[in-house]
Structure 1
Amino acid sequence: MAVSVLLLAGCGRKAPEAETATPVIALPVQAADGATAGRFPGDVHARYEMPLSFRVGGQLSARYVNPGDVVKKGQALAQLDPADTNNQLAAAKAALEAAEHRLLFATQQRDRDEAQFKQNLISQLQLQQTQDTYASSLAGRDQAKQQYELAQNQSRYTTLVADHDGAITSRQADVGQVLTAGQEVFGFAWSGEREVYLDVPESRIDGITVGQQAKVTLPALPNHVFAAHVREVAPAADAQSRTYLVKLTIDQPSDALQLGMTADASLQANKPVAPGIDIPATALFHQGEHPAVWVVRPADATLELRPVTIMRYGERDVLISDGLKAGERVVMQGVHTVSAGEKVAPIAPPHPEDAPQ
């Protein structure tokens, strides 16, 4: 009976359960280029973007292009009803013909009176009156000629023509609409030069100067890196966003750069900067008032809260100067849901774009 009790007691004991590892998003960190002054999101624009409009008013009778169409220089884009301008042109032409006829008659009269004056057949006063009539007729002809040329221009202006190769970016008027002179009909972007627009917060604008070098990458073109430079820095902040518009010019634009593509620009520092470790802002944890990160120990896959020294805060990342080494695995997300000594199973972010670059 004693042996049976011992056997039953032995069967009732359970083997100790292995500690369950908590899955966390953790990736190895990489050394950051010390020459990078900051990274900013942006989008691709044309070097020259402008509205297209008619120089004269009228009713829009035809539209030949739509947003997204690529057009060539000299191509007709839209047409106004030409009835009024055609009538003005016909009236100006008739006025010019009448002025030329009056000038011809005044010229003949002047020639006759000058010949008669030499023979003392007419008075000095009559000759002066004839010459005055000729001068008035000549000025009237010149004025009518200018009016005719103006009417010709007005007639040509009823056709909206592309003055450069480019693309239609927007449409602001429909057929049948009555337009005033200068009212926008299309948005237009020139072909050729491409730029990247950045919205830089006021805390970072002091480190950006005209001519500063930059590198531009695009999610849509993962295998391309474009060299660029700062062409323009806005002198004042936007009233709503309180950010400064910075324009980067792509040094060697490519046809693959499509308008509106999202971009990521890394500005090069004007002065040498010590290298550091770049981590996403979501990986930063605060131990009291001191910044820290969760590091996965490689020996046993447990977490260690390690203090770090911040070199620079960015829009989406933080540059660490001390406390981390390249290759160490750091928790990138969910830093407030883990604890020191906890055993974890590192996994990659569910979305590739969330991984540090």
Structure 2
Amino acid sequence: MGSRYLRCSMVLVLVLSGCRSEVPPEPPRPVLVDTAPAQAGAGALALAGEIRAREEAALSFRVGGQLVRRLVDAGDRVHAGQVLAELDPADLAQQARATRAQAAAAEAELARARSEHARYQALAAGQLVSRSALEAQATALRAAEEQARAARAQAAVAGNQSGYAQLRAPADGVIATREAEAGQVVAAGQTIYRFAGDGAREVAIALPEARASAFVIDQPVEVELWARPGVRMAGRIREISPAADPQSRTYAARVELESAAGEVSLGQSARVHLAAGDAGHRSVPLSAVQRGEDGSPRVWIVADGVARPVAVTLGGYGESRVAVLSGLPADALVIAAGGHLLRDGQPVVPVDRDNAPVEPVQPKPATDAAP
């Protein structure tokens, strides 16, 4: 009876095992992958700028007066020492003559004081005057000497000021702008011309406050003229202002053009392409970055047809991308979105934004092992 029951059980097991069907494998899930160039720096930035001369100056008279002659105009080339404008010299000449007359009077008074002092010295030697009278004459002589010295200095200043009626070019260059007209009464220090010296040309730009700390002196950049799109010239950041502009909240900076002084003109518009500290590192979309269980950043990649999370070190954040400094295998297909819905080892099919399949690439190590 027992053996018969055992044979029936075995037959039942064989029948049930023949009826059981295998569980179908999980179908691969389509995932959107990042197809941007591998070296597209997240910190890349393009700023508008203007071609300027390194040596710029606001030219003005040292004295005030009426502008009677304007000898050059905006755009004219000038040479060092060339007269650019003249003031009415009449008042300055009169002032120079007046100070020379005052100096002559002071010299005459000094001669009289010396003569009186010498006479009192002779009288004091014969005890015909008191010592106090002699000391008074000595004091008067010293006062006359100081007054004569002051008068001579004033005469020299007035003579110099008469020469200040002519505004001269400080060096070879070009007149960038003109800001006064003949007949106008100008004050001392009021700008008459803006002068741009010959030599190096630069691009004046404004760095945004939020990213100014990512740029450093001597950082290489590329300059593209609006008039010559697609042609980029090498440059470097020469100067960054230590303080932000109170109105625009930007930091003024100057970009030096390395070898293009003859290819650009003052006032031209340009676009400066910068990489904010993370140039040369791969970047990924912001949506590709997830947080691991320990809170560290990670991204999902496609490896051998399955999804794998990798821990990464991030760099500077851009508007839509973030630089990955380390941890990301070279040439890996990065899953651009939906990483929070994936699990490690899940089969996936990489597709682009047009839902077209993307050929998987076997990931390579981020750094080669030492031999």
Q: Give TM class, smaller chain.
A: 0.5 to 0.7
The alpha-carbon deviation at position 269 of structure 1 amounts to 4.6
* Alpha carbons 2:113, 2:144 under 8 Å: kept: yes
1:228 pairs, out of 223, 236, 258, with: 236
Q: Which residue of 1 aligns with 2:155?
A: 148
Question: In the alignment, residue 261 of structure 2 is paired with which amino acid?
Answer: S
**Using the alignment, how far apart are the partners of 2:90 and 2:174 within structure 1?**
30
1:44-87 deviation line (CA, Å, top 9, x unaligned): 11223332221211111101110011222222111111111111
Q: 1:170 to 1:322 in 2, by over 3 A?
A: farther
Q: 1:296-318 CA distances to partner (integer Å, 9 max, x unpaired)?
A: xxxxxxxxxxxxxxx97679x99
Once the two structures are TM-superposed, the CA of residue 41 in structure 1 deviates from its matched residue by: 2.7
8 Å CA contact 2:42, 2:283 repeated in 1: no
Q: How far 1:268 sits from its partner (Å)?
A: 4.0
- How far apart in 2 are the matches of 1:210 and 1:233? 11
Deviations 1:288-333 (A, max 9, x none): xxxxxxxxxxxxxxxxxxxxxxx97679x999x9689xxxxxxxxx
Aligned residue pairs total: 266
Aligned mates of 1:272, 1:177 — CA distance in 2: 54
CA distance, structure 2, for counterparts of residue 238 and residue 176 of structure 1: 36
State the distance in 2 between where 1:274 and 1:196 align: 27
Deviation of 1:176 after TM superposition, in Å, equals 0.7
Q: What are the superposed Cα offsets for residues 236-294 of structure 1, whole Å, 9 maximum, x if unpaired?
A: 2562x5544332223445233321122222224534543579xxxxxxxxxxxxxxxxx
Confirm whether residue 105 of structure 1 aligns to residue 112 of structure 2.
yes
Distance 1:189 1:140 in 2: 44
- Give the equivalent residue in structure 1 for 2:261: 254
Hey, what does 1:189 align to over in structure 2? Answer: 196
Unaligned runs of 5+ in 2: 1-35, 285-315, 324-331, 336-353, 356-371
C-alpha distance 123-44 of structure 1, shift in aligned 2 (>3 A): same
Q: CA RMSD in A?
A: 3.6
Match of 1:26 in 2: none
Query: Is 1:41 the equivalent of 2:48?
Result: yes
Equivalent residue for 2:173, pick from 166, 171, 178 = 166
1:234–1:246 contact (8 Å) kept in structure 2: no
- Identify the residue that residue 270 of structure 1 maps to in structure 2: 277
Query: 2: CA distance between counterparts of 1:95 and 1:230?
Result: 52
Corresponding position of 1:75: 82
Distance in 2 of aligned mates of 1:97 and 1:209: 61
Equivalent residue letter for 2:220 = Q
Structure 1 residue identity aligned to 2:269: T
- Offset of residue 31 of structure 1: 7.2
Cα deviation digits, residues 184-242 of structure 1 (max 9, x gap): 21122232232212234445434323332212232546766232224114632562x55
Q: Find the counterpart in structure 2 of residue 214 from structure 1.
A: 221
CA distance in 2, matches of 1:218, 1:30: 24
One-letter identity of the residue aligned with 1:185: I
Aligned counterparts, 1:1-357, within 5 A: 34=41, 37-220=44-227, 225-233=233-241, 235-237=243-245, 239=247, 243-252=250-259, 254-271=261-278, 273-275=280-282
Rg larger in 1 or in 2? 2
Q: Is the 8 A contact 2:173 2:195 kept in 1?
A: yes
User: Relative to 1, partners in 2 of residues 1:220 and 1:31: Cα closer, same or farther, differing over 3 Å?
Assistant: farther
Describe the shift of the 1:72–1:53 C-alpha distance in structure 2 as closer, same or farther (beyond 3 A). Answer: same
Label 1:98 to 1:258 Cα distance change in 2 as closer, same or farther (>3 A).
same
**Does the CA-based 8 Å contact 1:209-1:233 persist in structure 2?**
no
Give the direction of change, closer, same or farther, for the CA distance of 1:171–1:318 in structure 2 (3 Å limit): farther
- Consecutive unaligned residues in structure 1, runs of 5 or more: 1-28, 278-310, 325-339, 342-357
Residue type at the aligned position of 2:200: E
